[in-house]
Structures are given as C-alpha cells and as structure tokens.
Chain A
Amino acid sequence: MAVQLPIFMDNHSTTPVDPRVLEEMLPYFTTKFGNAASRSHAFGWVAEEAVDYARERIAKLIGAQSEKEIVFTSGATESDNLALKGVYEFYKDKGNHIITCVTEHKAILDTCKRLEKDGAQVTYLNVDKTGRVDPDDVRKAITDKTILVSIMLANNEIGTVHPIEEIGKITREKGVLFHSDAVQGVGKIDFDVQKMNIDLASITAHKMYGPKGVGALYVRRNKPRVRLVAQMDGGGHERGNRSGTLNVPGIVGFGKAAQIMIEEGKAESVRLAALRDRLKKRIEDKIEETYLNGHPVHRLPGNLNISFNFVEGEGMMMAIKDVAVSSGSACTSASLEPSYVLRALGVGDELAHSSIRFGLGRFNTEEEVDWVANLVTEKVKHLREMSPLWEMHKEGIDLKSVQWTAH
C-alpha cells in the first residue's frame, strides 16, 4: 500500500483532532452555543452541563477525586503559569523556595525566572544522562523554605519519564506541594494524581487528539487543599481560579479526547511502543553511528530521539521533508544554541546538532514507519557522502583533535 505524503511524525508538538472528538464538539459551535456562565436560561444550562460532563471525564482520566479539582485554561502554558505563580503568590510568606529541573519545558523555566525577579529562590536540579531526576536529589534540595516542587511527567524532546511516584512520596512526607507538567504523558503512560501524590497537574487537549486552545490545571482540594492566587481577573469563573468565558466546544472536545484515552490509551501505547521499536530497529540495523537520546525503557511510547552522527539535524529534516519531525539542532531555533535538554544530558553539541525527534501517534501506520525508515537510511547515506566530518571519520581522524574555527 502506498503511503500518503507528507507523513506527520511530530506528535509531541501537537496531534490532529480525532474525528470522534470533532463530531462531539460541533453542536457546541452552532445550536448549543450558550455561555456556560449563563445561569438563567436553557442555553446556558446546556453549555454548563456539557462542561461539567467534560470535567468528570478529565478528572477520571487523571484519577482526581472530584471534578471540582479541574480548572479549565487556554492550554498547558497557562496552566503552568497559574500553578507556579498562583502557588508562589499564595504561599510566599510561608517560604520562597521552588524546586524544578533543568529539562523542564520553557513554560516552567521562564515562569521560574520571572518568579526569581519577584524574590523566589529556585533550585534547578540536574538530570542523569538519560534525562531522569534522582528523587534523592529532590529530597536533599528541600529546605524549610520550600513550598513547591515542579517536575514534568515526561519530557517533550527525549520522552524520558521521571520517577514521579517516588518524588510524590517525598514531597508528601515533607509537606511540600508537588506540581507536574503532565502534558506529554497523560493518557499514554501511568498517571494518577492520588497514587502519585500530585497536588497540581498541567494538561492540554491538543497533545491527546483534542483541539488546541484548551487545557486544564488539576488543583487538589483535599489533603492538602491547595490554594492559588488567580492570575486572570474578571468574572470569577472556575471557582475564582481563572476568569474568562469558558471555551465550551473546546472543553467538550477535551472531555471526549480524555474519554477515548481512558478506553483506548493503554492499547494504543502498546501499539505505538511496538511501532517506535520497529522504527528504531530498522534505522539502527542499517545505519552506523546512531545514538539514542533519552532513556531506553522509561520513555514515552511514541518517542524516538536519535542522533545521526556527522549529519546536521536541519539538513536532515530538509532531506526528509515529506516527513514532519523535529530536531534539537540550533538551526531550528532563532538562537544558535542546540537543544538545552540534550545539553543537560551531557550529549555533546555535535550530537545535539545531529538529533532528530520522531513522535509517533494514533494515526501513524506500520507502512509509514517502514517507508520513513527506508527514507532516513537513504538520506543519511546521501548526507554523509556530503559531510566532511564523515570523510574525516572514515579516514580515522579524531574530530576532537582538530582545531576548529568557531564562528
């Protein structure tokens, strides 16, 4: 069977809306268009009922005790901002210390930088060479001034899954709040706010086959009850945590996407891990000098992040332009620095520039995987023939011994 081009293998950046999700959303644009905050007429009641139904489904997906613990936002960046800034503002008289890690998403790191300007002290924990935080490091970093620990469930670039349950045990024992940016992992890997002692969690619809522009922050209401200072002032929606008219169609879609994950997430992850392993094997069998970035086991099922030594990532992406992937190469960003995540793992700049992230998702097929593996094999060979580094490597020159002219 011929594959249809282009092929989307960048499912960590976003995912297409599942047709079943779209179908459930549509009436909420047209006939059921009411404002969920309209308490005095049927249009409002219908919208509110739909929102509450979605809230229940999302609460169930993450193991929340009550749907009241779900605060809808515009997406995970807003959820991360609300969690960190909201907690800091409320608890700063108790303590000003926050613990996070160096490979977090910019929505966490840049929010922490902002809070540092406001007087917060932030500890950025290092990770091991597979990208994992050591729970012992979390324990050692906690002081009597610590109010919050924020560690992501799974990393968006390298797919590494953190030992969240172990960290949750420590934060609970120490009486420190625990936030997790769970965007990449929720629905795909084990995630339960009760079992893992998580107090706040950021999630978003568009990474799980729902629409863009809608996310949620889980805020624990019981043991402990987490308090936040709202970051958006207005009508006091979402129990005063986030003012603004609710995005009803988006929320309905988010709820349906969560329901599909509850029913199919586990089986889907098994299928995606098998596809990912197939892609990895086919690439590694045919191409020498490849390096896996991230953890071999504790890893998102659809994630394959691999460096093709002596081939630059953006050049590679251009050569395989019928396949949408992503790279940790500097050239993909406005700055000329390669990925800070790969650097934190101790991956050398050369290999960081050579990294490609494949992100498999619900709609990828085995035929696509085989087609992509063949294309990648062919193009790596082609680009290496064009690479002076490959030629030097083949001549036995140690590239580290060469005096390069940095520019």
Chain B
Amino acid sequence: MTQAPSRLETADDLTTEPVPPTGRRLRRVRQTPRSTLTRGAGLSLGIAMIWFSLLVLLPLAAIVAKAAEGGWSNYLHVIQDDQTWAAVTLTVSQAALVTVLNVVVGTVIAWVLVRDHFPGKALLDVIIDVPFALPTIVAGLVLLSLYGPKSPVGVHWAFTPNAVFLAFAFVTLPFVVRTVQPVLEELDADVEEAAASLGAARLTILRRILLPSLVPAIAAGAALSFARAISEYGALVLLSGNKPYETEVVSVRVLSFIENGSTASAAAVASLMLFVALVVIVGLDLVQRGVAGRG
C-alpha cells in the first residue's frame, strides 16, 4: 500500500538531485525531516548490498579464487577429465529434462489449483510444498523404497540415470507451480471470455492471451527449478548408485575431489557449474524480458 507513493517520492527526489551519492544524501537528509523515506531507502539499499555480498558474492568469488589456486593447467585438466565431463553431462541433461517437465506439469498444476474447484483442492495446495520442506535425504529414502527393488508400484529405477531424473523431479516440482499460481490468480477470466465471444479459438486464446502473461512466471520458475536440480545431492545419493560414467552426478564428483584434498579441483568443477547455471538463468531471464517487453 505504502510502496507506490514512496517510489514516486524517491523518483521525485532523484529528478531534483540527479546524481545523489548515498553518503551525501544521508547527511543532507538529517536536516530535512521530510526525507526520512529516502534515508530509509539508502539504508535498506546498504543493508541489502552488505547482506548480499556477505552471503552470495563473497562465497562465489571465493570459489573462483580457489579454482584459480590450482593453476590454469590443473583447471583445464579437471574440466577436460572424462569422468567429470560424464558427470556434468548427466547432471545438466537430466536437470534440463526435469525443467521441461516442470514447465508443462507445473503450469498445469497451477492452472488446476487456480481455475478448477474440486474436493481436496486446499489440501493439494498445501502438499505441493512438501518437497521444499522435506530434508532431501529423507526424500531419497522415500524414493528408494518406492522405486527400488521392493517397489510397490513395480518401477525399478534405482541405480539408473532415471533415478537422477526422479530425484530432481521430486525436489523441483514446487518451483513452477508457485511462480505461475499467483500470476494466474491475477489474470482476469473476463478477457478470455471476451476473446472467446469475439470468436477466438481456444488455442488462440492460450497463445495470444494467456501465455504472454504466464511466460515470465514460467521462465522464472524454470530457472529456479534448473538451478536447484543441478545442485541436488541428498535426494539422489541413495537412489542413483553414484557409479562413475553412469549415475555419478557433479556434486558426488566434487565430494570425491574434496575427500582427496584436491580443493582447487573441486572448486574448478564448481565454477563450471556456476557458469552453466549463469548461462541458463540469464537465458531464461532474456526470454522473460522479451515476452514482457512485447506485452
């Protein structure tokens, strides 16, 4: 409620004083009580940046610095290693598959939760978040008892690459659902009805009316889901079998390097995954902006 006016006032402030260095503005603010909002904004920006740097930027920089410690030749040697490459390929390809699945299934689930009414809907809405809350090693145990050799449903996927897919799918399910759901709730069904009454086919409504609004949310959910998947460890260590070249994922490979005291090699693999994550997140962000811009 208070956000909109405050943003306006900040903008106003910026126009009267085009390049306000934070420090000076703070000092100036002390004399004029009217600008307490600006002071707050400056402080929150400062806190945000410090917090962000401490929690995110510093560790990321440390990983890159650590990877550099081993020297360029060691870096290349680790990255070009067949076993590392197999682990990266497996992890990235399964994460990509799971993300595609989540984009479709997650959107459908969100649609059902928002637009349809059925008994048990509220319960389903709550249960969606369980994969978030469950410790991933517990998820691994559950998945092993469901899809292992004693599978009650007759699916024997333990110790195969499918197990990696399953574990990823389990832990990433909520992301797309939870990003799409609020957007869908805001969408006015009247617009669709209007389009329909003007003779638009259902597919056209989906393509021209619904998707443009949903794609940014879907892309954001997909980015989260992909990033979460490539970092997963707990849910799949039990289920995948960790066999080199077959079911060994990147996080297990990194652990092997750490166990041998090769921290620079571990950081090298980690930096590669950071790069992959960055490419995918930026890519999906561009999709998001592109669509938003068109809208």
A, B: real partners: no
Which residues of B are in contact with A by a Cβ distance under 8 Å?
none
Residue numbers of A with Cβ under 8 A of B are: none
